[in-house]
Structure 1
Amino acid sequence: MDDETLFPIGALAERTGLTVKTIRFYADKGIVPPTSHSPAGYRLYDIDALARLELVRTLRELDIDLPTVRRVLARETSLAEVAVAHAAALDAQIRVLRLRRAVLRAVANRESKPQEMDLMHKLVNLTQAERHRYIHDFIDDTFGGADANPAMVELLRTSMPDLPEEPTAEQVEAWMELVQLVQDNDFRAAVRRMAEYQERQRADGDSTGLHHDLTEAVRAEVGRALAAGMAPDAVEAAAVVNTLTARYAETFGRPDDADLRRWIVERLEVANDARVTRYWQLVSTINNWPPMPDLAPIFAWFGRALKTRPRVY
């Protein structure tokens, strides 16, 4: 081989950007041995060795371990196979780093103490099934002992909060708050009372479902009244009440009378818990659903208007 095609180790270091010490290390490990030696015993490398060293440098910069580098150079495994495997490993590392970033930002936003930060980190690192267990336990404890509205139980079980693999700080905060909420004994007792109320209604013959259309009608009618600045005890509120009680009478097959209005007030008082609204708002945030409107002012206005006008006008 012509000496002009061979590089001493110093020239090779300049060409590759590697240190002389590193090139010697790769030679001693048999990864890129010298092509030959000079009469004085100095290591010499040809163009092929130069190319192999540049490949080694690139693979090491990509954090490929030395045993894998050796297999690639020996053609025991293909570069494509290594790239696929390493890219998958990097994807996993990126997900972990983004999750840690979200937790740290949530900790900063909440000004969390070390105990809360530790709990938050553990909660977001649970599997999806483990996270769902918190919600299923809550449903079992509140609805499990009552013959409540099956449509409501089904809605709760099918509307699980699914924390994404790369959550935002807001989603991490929402998940933390949701876990605290469903473990709150006062909230559980309130929801249990709702389940028991539904059981009594079913015993009285109410086998109807969730009535999203009825809720939307209340939201629309009362929303317009609130936007117009109408007080619930104003004379004009009678028309709003009459429109809505007629819808309730039709939906539940009951007379539109004073008893119906007292019954609607009771339903509103049982259901209108700000924590229930907060539950669904948190689930919506975690699942990246559209924001859920706060219906508490709507139901409060409607309930007061019903109490002001116990009869049909």
Structure 2
Amino acid sequence: MDGATLYSIGDLARRTGLSVRTIRFYADAGVVPPTRRSPAGYRLYDLDALVRLELVRTLRDLGIDLVTIRRVLAREVTVAEVAEAHANAVDTQIRTLRLRRAVLRAVARRASSPEELDLMHKLAKLSDEERRKMITDFLDATFADLDVDPDFLAKMRCGLPALPDDPTAEQVEAWVELGELVADPDFRASIRRMAEYQARTRGDDVAPGTHERLTTITREWVEAARTAGIEPTSPEAEPVLADLLAEYAAAFGRTPDDAFVAWLSERFEVGTDPRAERYWQLLGVMNGWPSWPSLAPVFDWFLAALRARARNR
């Protein structure tokens, strides 16, 4: 077969696997025009046209539109440039499909209402930048005009959400719950109270690492008490409470008297909203951080014991 060989539309159809109708369409669209016509008026194509048609078929199979194909054939753009652009577009489509899949699975798991489905879809479609802005706006409103601990504020601002390209249904659910949480006026007011209290009591700060040590002690001792079935309001709780008060009083340079019990009770009442812990748990799910056991039951027990001590005095 040489360059002078001409093919009918039927020949091209057999060689390329395309239908006669499709080849006529490409010819009429000017993508692969006939090389010449036979005396009877039939379209005829040479080897170059066959090669062009093979290229058109390959590019169309890859989802590239005819306008772009014309530019490739006219050498306005290269196949490499088109491939790069369309590969990027396919990446975007894949991310979108993965996100839709995760949303649908989350909806199925939660048996969501139409309203929740709409909210879930809107929140999930946000970009990473939009998600971060949603959280930073919440933090800006919470800590505005307050003299809070810079290290604490830096920690808060480092905890920003980042959904992976292929999120799980659990991660989508976590983002939806987090979005609802930071938009809740009551939660925002509670976190603002915590921030105001911390700013007001910055002089009561302890040495670095002390809070972590106290938290560890509290968890160990209270969990042991709870495992033993000791209620926080029972007489059996008093020795545990006394030991904890001694540790906390020593850390803050105070005496474990009634005034200290009242001071510590207020500190826990302001700072132990379980939704604050939930905020960090949700961020952890989204960002793939290691999970940790909830401290809410531990400090609920501690606070209940403090209140019982105050009532019994």
TM-score (norm 2): 0.82
Deviations 1:116-166 (A, max 9, x none): 433333333334443334333433443325444444333222212233444
Over the residues paired in the alignment, what is the CA RMSD in angstroms? 3.2
Q: How does 1:267-278 map to 2 (within 5 A)?
A: 267-278=267-278
Residue 21 of structure 1: how far off its partner (Å): 1.8
Q: Structure 1 stretch 152-161 or stretch 223-232: which is displaced more?
A: 223-232
Aligned to 1:18: 18
CA change 1:243–1:36 in 2 (3 A) is same
> SS state of the match for residue 156, structure 2?
helix
* 2:294 is aligned with 1:281: no
> SS state of the match for residue 204, structure 2?
coil
Q: Partner amino acid for 1:14?
A: R
> SS state of the match for residue 167, structure 1?
coil
Q: Partner amino acid for 1:178?
A: L
Aligned to 1:143: 143
The whole-number CA distance in structure 2 between the counterparts of 1:294 and 1:3 is 77
CA change 1:160–1:70 in 2 (3 A) is same
The whole-number CA distance in structure 2 between the counterparts of 1:259 and 1:47 is 97
* 2:188 is aligned with 1:188: yes
Residue 284 of structure 1: how far off its partner (Å): 1.6
2:204 to 184, 195, 206: 206
Give me the identity figure in percent. 59
CA change 1:46–1:224 in 2 (3 A) is farther
Contact 1:241–1:306, Cα closer than 8 Å, also in 2: yes
Deviations 1:163-216 (A, max 9, x none): 3444333222222222222222222332233233323323xx313468233223
Contact 1:284–1:292, Cα closer than 8 Å, also in 2: no
Q: Partner amino acid for 1:265?
A: S
Q: Partner amino acid for 2:135?
A: I
> SS state of the match for residue 72, structure 2?
helix
Q: How does 1:127-276 map to 2 (within 5 A)?
A: 127-202=127-202, 205-208=203-206, 211-232=211-232, 240-241=240-241, 243-257=243-257, 259-276=259-276
Aligned to 1:69: 69
CA change 1:280–1:22 in 2 (3 A) is same
Q: Structure 1 stretch 257-266 or stretch 92-101: which is displaced more?
A: 257-266
The whole-number CA distance in structure 2 between the counterparts of 1:256 and 1:72 is 82
The whole-number CA distance in structure 1 between the counterparts of 2:31 and 2:270 is 75
CA change 1:113–1:238 in 2 (3 A) is closer
Contact 1:8–1:45, Cα closer than 8 Å, also in 2: yes
> SS state of the match for residue 283, structure 2?
helix
Unmatched runs of 5 consecutive residues or more in structure 1: none
The whole-number CA distance in structure 2 between the counterparts of 1:25 and 1:189 is 65
The whole-number CA distance in structure 2 between the counterparts of 1:136 and 1:81 is 38
The whole-number CA distance in structure 2 between the counterparts of 1:195 and 1:27 is 71
Aligned to 1:97: 97
Q: Partner amino acid for 1:155?
A: K
The whole-number CA distance in structure 1 between the counterparts of 2:26 and 2:137 is 57
The whole-number CA distance in structure 2 between the counterparts of 1:225 and 1:2 is 93
Deviations 1:253-277 (A, max 9, x none): 3345554444333322322222222
Aligned to 2:56: 56
Residue 285 of structure 1: how far off its partner (Å): 1.8
Q: Partner amino acid for 1:83?
A: A
The whole-number CA distance in structure 2 between the counterparts of 1:44 and 1:89 is 36
The whole-number CA distance in structure 1 between the counterparts of 2:26 and 2:130 is 47
Aligned to 1:30: 30
CA change 1:79–1:226 in 2 (3 A) is same
CA change 1:31–1:309 in 2 (3 A) is same
Residue 298 of structure 1: how far off its partner (Å): 0.8
Q: Partner amino acid for 2:20?
A: V
TM-score (norm 1): 0.82
Aligned to 1:126: 126
Q: Structure 1 stretch 270-279 or stretch 127-136: which is displaced more?
A: 127-136
Contact 1:26–1:33, Cα closer than 8 Å, also in 2: yes
Contact 2:128–2:161, Cα closer than 8 Å, also in 1: no
